[in-house]
Structure 1
Amino acid sequence: METKEGSIYKEFPKPIGNYTVGRTQMDFKYTASDQSERELTALFFYPSDSSEDKSTAEYAFPEFHSLRNELLVKIGAPLGEQLFDSNFKTWSYDDLALSKQETQYPVLFFSHGAGAYPQQGTVFAQDLASAGYIVVSIGHAESGVYKLKDGRTVAMTEKFMEDLTAYSMEVASLIMPQPQIMTEKLGEEQAIKTSRQLTSAPQAVEFAKYAVLQSEDIRHVADRLYAMNAGDIESLFEGRLQLDIGMGVFGHSFGGTTAAIVSRDDDRFVGSVNLDGNMVGALDSDLKKPFMQLGTVLAYNTNAFLLESNSEDTYFAIIDQVTHGDFSDSMFTTTDLGSRGARDAMEQRDILTSYTKAFFDNYLLNKTLGLESLAFEGVEMIKKP
């Protein structure tokens, strides 16, 4: 059982499933469509049968905050809150054997938020891995902060941070005359109009290029998974990845945006889940895949155009009493309680894990029971068609 002092947790909740959670890291290099050389990392969370008497894995590397703060100082931005304590306890164990209970395991990808880190969705990755999924969490070049296997650290680029700041200021200026967008669910017609206005703004259109590049990161690693499965790349996953059914992808904030772009553009992915991200780069897109957003009322008001443009099952869950950070590990790891919403972190985790798992159980594993029956107090689910 997790422990906490006051309202500050010291460890993640125990994962929901019966598997022990293994974790391993791999690094990748490739040339993106803009001809940039991208070096990224991936953390694999996977089902295992035993902890092998190992200690739990480190949550995230201690240098994260100093790297981020150095960049913020360079561009003249205020320092951010400390997102986690370096000693925060996980329920993952490094480099365990893959479970022998099943011949193959289905695959999901996770994409972190802008300026975040590949461990940002550990609470969800552990839950899903303990339930039988392999979750591949990407550390994105330019927008991520991570440590490569050889010990080198990677930080956000100044250009990314400057573009993010410009985009954020533009969004704030558009919302300022209409503050109800932050707190009130608009009628569907008004929400669709508002979402188009916000997503078509010049800085939003410019910033969308990063979602495309991050989607290429995921697609590149997906390519490598097929090679691993075939034994062309040495790994513990040879022959063990259930890729014939496709893959799923989800993410937090800008990672949720990225997830939808991946699903739209790559037929190997069956659908996507967006955890409170704005859908820049997808204006009026027909994703042609099932899509689910779990978010605040603001996220609904800024993404509602998908209710009209997406031709497949589209879900919007509006969750009350939460903040943007409550859709990531920050609901447990934050040291700034003022950044949290009023909803209990354990309850919020149960909502997000339950909906995410049910979505992929349904659309990836064809387990039709569960998704439509989910209901939580203070959560409004909108579904089209």
Structure 2
Amino acid sequence: MRPLEASLLAATVLVFLLHVVRLPGRARHLRSLALIPLPLLAAQVLVEGARWQMIPAYALSGLLAAAWPARTAGWGRGSTRIWAGLGGMGLVVAIAVPLAVPVFGFPRPTGPYAIGTQTYHWVDAARPDIFTADPDDRREVVVQVWYPAVDEPSAPRAPYVADGRALAPLARLMELPDSTFGYFDQVRTNAVPGAPAAREAVRHPVLLFSHGRGGYRQHNTAQVEELVSHGYVVAAIDHPHAAAGVVFPDGRRVDLDPRMLDRAFIDSVIPFLAQDAIFTLDRLADLDRSDDVLAGRLDLDHVGMFGVSLGGAVAGETCKIEPRLGACLPIDVFLPADVVSDGLRQPVMWISRDADTMRREGWSESDVEETHRTMRAVFDRLPGAGYIVLVPGMYHVDFSDFPLFSPLAEPLGLRGPLDARRARVIPDTYALAFFDKHLKGRPAPLLDDPSRRFPEVLFESR
């Protein structure tokens, strides 16, 4: 909870007690403290920003102030009891809601590099957008790039999602109000917008990231920041019509296409989404030539791709058709039929779960079977290195930032039973070891003997 939020709630508790506790005559002037929450409320809204989770606290502090004249004039014991009961319930709600859905923070990355970020809007003039009916519409993408940067401890950090409108369709899909995720603009990451690139004139390997169906480019920010802190540039692609919502610089918002809920349609557009990644790679080459911050910093001879859920399928498809990709990491997803039939040629790591955990989460038997069958079919035919990492106790959402959103995720069964920190560290550590070995050429002891560090992981390599 943020400092002014905590101060407002503390003041509200104090004023509530002053209203319901019988005070001696000489202490009754303390009831004038009932007005204290009001300036704190104003300061909290102006400095930290209002959010819907604080509405009960805002309302209760206003009611306490409004009740002050009646309380100082004196009211009966029955009124005090009613006030104590209703006000007490309101107080519980006012405290519980912001604690249950906090303005969360991101873990501090473990690598030696600070992190900068910039966002780009690119139009592929050569490619029509197959999601729209207008043949003149060209494909547009929004890409956020994170990169190793100069450490600027006092610089403002980038918001998690700068424009909450992008996630309104996701909230609607979950049958929640459009504003549910609007407070994400108050969540701060570890990245500094536009920070100068790290001082040493080093080119860093590049990783492309593709989000899940109805997701957003930032939904694996914790994992992305961990990789960047160890010397990678990560470019996360917003796929319009496959993302929850994409807000373009001119204010337009493109929402999730309802057809993306149909599996046959999804299968038909995966190759098109893979072209988003290839187009992004082409534009990154332009940045390496002329961008004010990133020119000369991108090692485009060493490029990998990873993605979660649908993004993992897109990663597999892209790796099949794009020879510039030297390492492929699909996370918790099936692979497309053409990838299964044709195979992959570069090193591949799969990070997923065992079948029993999938069933425990509620996955259908057909989805469990397809995920494991397609993974195994490609793994068994790889011409080179391959790794299967299965983490029992992790649910699908655990492979994203979702567990950070609320401390109630596990008690409510919204995430897996595996310890939240371990559920974050295991995939991040394996991903880093995989890319270090196959893009940087570094030794990766974890991939040779993983049992010492993560004995719960089901690991296979070839």
Q: What TM-score range do you get, normalising by the shorter chain?
A: 0.7 to 0.9
Provide the aligned C-alpha RMSD in A.
2.7
Partner of 1:68: 170
Query: Is the Cα–Cα contact under 8 Å of residues 84 and 333 in structure 1 kept in the other structure?
Result: no
CA separation of 1:333 and 1:6: change in aligned 2, threshold 3 A: closer
TM-score by length of 1: 0.79
Q: Structure 2 residue aligned with 1:10, among 97, 104, 110?
A: 104
In structure 1, how many angstroms separate the alpha carbons of the residues matched to 2:297 and 2:114?
17
Higher helix share: 2
| Residue 262 (structure 2) pairs with residue 166 (structure 1) | yes
- Aligned pair count reads 334
Q: Give the secondary-structure state (helix, strand or coil) at the position aligned to 2:305.
A: strand
Percent identity among equivalent residues? 24
Corresponding residue number in structure 2 for 1:248:
304
- Mapping for residues 214-229 of structure 1, pairs under 5 Å: 214-229=273-288
Secondary structure of the structure 2 residue equivalent to 1:322: coil
Q: Which residue of 1 aligns with 2:210?
A: 111
Deviation at 1:141, TM superposition (A): 1.9
Matches within 5 A, 1:1-385: 10-30=104-124, 31-32=126-127, 37-51=138-152, 53-60=154-161, 61-70=163-172, 72=173, 78=175, 85-86=183-184, 87-144=186-243, 145-157=245-257, 161-162=258-259, 164-167=260-263, 203=264, 206-231=265-290, 234-244=291-301, 246-281=302-337, 282-297=339-354, 298=368, 299-301=371-373, 303-333=375-405, 337=409, 338-370=413-445, 371-375=447-451, 376-383=454-461, 385=462
Whichever residue aligns with residue 324 of structure 2, its letter is R
Please give the alpha-carbon distance, in whole angstroms, between the structure 2 residues aligned to 1:243 and 1:357. Answer: 18
Aligned match of 1:186: none
Contact 2:164 2:182 in 1 (8 A): no
Give 1:69 shift: 4.3
CA distance in 2, matches of 1:267, 1:99: 29
1:313: Cα distance to partner?
1.9
1:350 is displaced (CA, Å) by 1.0
Q: Is the 8 A contact 1:44 1:134 kept in 2?
A: yes
Query: Which residue of the partner structure matches residue 178 of structure 1?
Result: none
* Structure 2 CA distance for aligned equivalents of residues 109 and 129 of structure 1: 12
Shift of 1:312: 2.5
Q: Matches of 1:58 and 1:89 in 2, distance apart?
A: 5
Structure 2 gaps, min length 5:
1-97, 355-367
1:88, 1:373 → 2: CA distance? 38
**1:355–1:374 Cα contact (<8 Å) kept:** no
**CA offset at residue 62 of structure 1?**
1.6
Q: CA deviation digits over 1:356-385, x for unaligned, max 9?
A: 1111111111113333233313210122x3
TM-score (norm 2): 0.67
CA shift, 1:102, in A, is 3.9
Gaps of 5+ in 1: 168-202
Q: CA deviation at 1:336?
A: 6.1
Shift of 1:341: 0.5
* 8 A Cα contact 1:287 1:312, kept in partner: no
In 2, the alpha carbon distance for the partners of 1:141 and 1:242 equals 27
